[in-house]
Amino acid sequence: MTSRLTVRRGFADTSIGQRHYRYCGSGPVLVMCHGSPGSAKQLEPFMHILGRHFTVIAPDTPGNGDSVPLPLAQPTIEDFAVAQIEFLDVMGIEDVAAVYGSHTGAGIAAEMAIRDSKRIRKVVQDGSPIFTKEQREDYLRDYAHPYMPDLDGAYLLRGFMFCRDQYLFFPWYKRDKEHRRDCALPSAEWLHDWVMEVMKSATTYHRSYRAAFAYLAEERLPLVTQPILCLGAEDDPLCAATREAALAHSNATYLDMPRYDDAQYVDRLTGSIIAFV
């Protein structure tokens, strides 16, 4: 039986403060940018497999998990990309085989590739943050707000419901039949871990979320000159938009992925990344 890779953790000192990251494996460098909300902890199931082929480095986005926030009230995806590139500089990483990004991270990955085409060879987008004008306005208004600490702990319950209901509805705050997702809840342990990572940054996690909602991904994606692999899980609310954007890009390849709760999902996604990179 093949032993399970250990995912290790570290901190890097950058101009904004300490950036927390996870890493494992050896070989060409694969940088992974997590989605919102949460941290790179949610990427660990993929890292255990990808680390057998790559040196996988997954930093917590500024203001998420254990990374300090950007010193900006309303940072953009471009601002987060600049911070990620500085992180690569601090880590002494001069050649990146690919940058993977999920949702918010997909926008950051694309912007990193646009800004640093000499260092970054390929891009993997797992659900591109593409929204209609109406969706963008709706989500910016209602989707993500800080959870300010209070003395009765009610903010902790609100944060838990925010995470749990994302599995049940899209968007999570429209709790009706029309917006019910065909999706089961994860295990209690997985949900606990996710909630804990979100609540570490309860007052700043929303900034990267809001940056993703404001980001015009459909306009920026054509500026990526590197080869792009676009992935869309069957039950991902961003699947259709990701497919449409990929098919319109001459450098992009699109692949359908199984549902998130499919037993083959992790293997299919990691296998597709390995083959592409």
CA dist 271 and 49 (Å) reads 9
pLDDT tens-digit profile of 117-141? 999 999 999 999 999 999 999 999 9
For residue 257, what are its two tokens? 């992925």
Task: Find the mean pLDDT for residues 103-120.
Answer: 97
The per-residue DSSP string of 167-189 comes to HHBSSTT--SGGGB-S-----HH
Worst-scoring range by mean pLDDT, 1-5, 79-83, 213-217, 254-258?
1-5
Q: Is the pLDDT of residue 167 over 80?
A: yes
pLDDT tens column, 230-240: 999 999 999 99
pLDDT (average), residues 170-176: 97
pLDDT of residue 2: 59
Q: Which one is predicted more confidently, 248 or 179?
A: 179
CA distances from 147 to 38, 71, 87 (A): 14, 19, 27
Q: Tell me the CA distances in angstroms from 156 to 87, 153, 162, 165, 195, one per residue in order.
A: 31, 6, 10, 14, 9
* pLDDT bucket at 210, cuts 50 / 70 / 90: very high
| The two structure tokens encoding residue 226 | 């590197």
Cα gap 96→252, rounded to integer Å: 18
At residue 1, the pLDDT reads 46
What radius of gyration do the chain's Cα atoms show?
Answer: 18
Tell me what pLDDT residue 112 has: 98
Q: Quickly state the pLDDT bin for 248 (edges 50, 70, 90).
A: confident
Q: How many CA atoms lie within 13 A of 129 on its CB side?
A: 28
For residue 68, what are its two tokens?
A: 């300090």
Token pair for 239: 């699947």
What would the mean pLDDT of 173-180 be, rounded to a whole number? 97
What average pLDDT score do residues 106-117 get?
Answer: 97
Beta-sheet strands, E only, within 15-152:
17-25, 29-33, 55-59, 98-102, 123-126
Which residues, at least 6 apart from 237, have a Cβ–Cβ distance to it below 8 Å?
Answer: 170, 181
- Give the CATH fold of the 8-130+212-276 domain: Rossmann fold (3.40.50)
Please say whether the beta carbons of 22 and 41 come within 8 A. yes
* Arithmetic mean of pLDDT, 30-44: 97
Q: How far apart, in whole angstroms, are the C-alpha atoms of residue 100 and residue 49?
A: 14
Average pLDDT of the chain, as a whole number: 96
What confidence score (pLDDT) does residue 127 get? 95
Alpha carbons within 13 angstroms on the beta-carbon side of residue 105 total: 26
Look at residue 3 and tell me whether its pLDDT is greater than 90.
no
Determine the longest span between alpha carbons in the chain, in angstroms.
Answer: 54
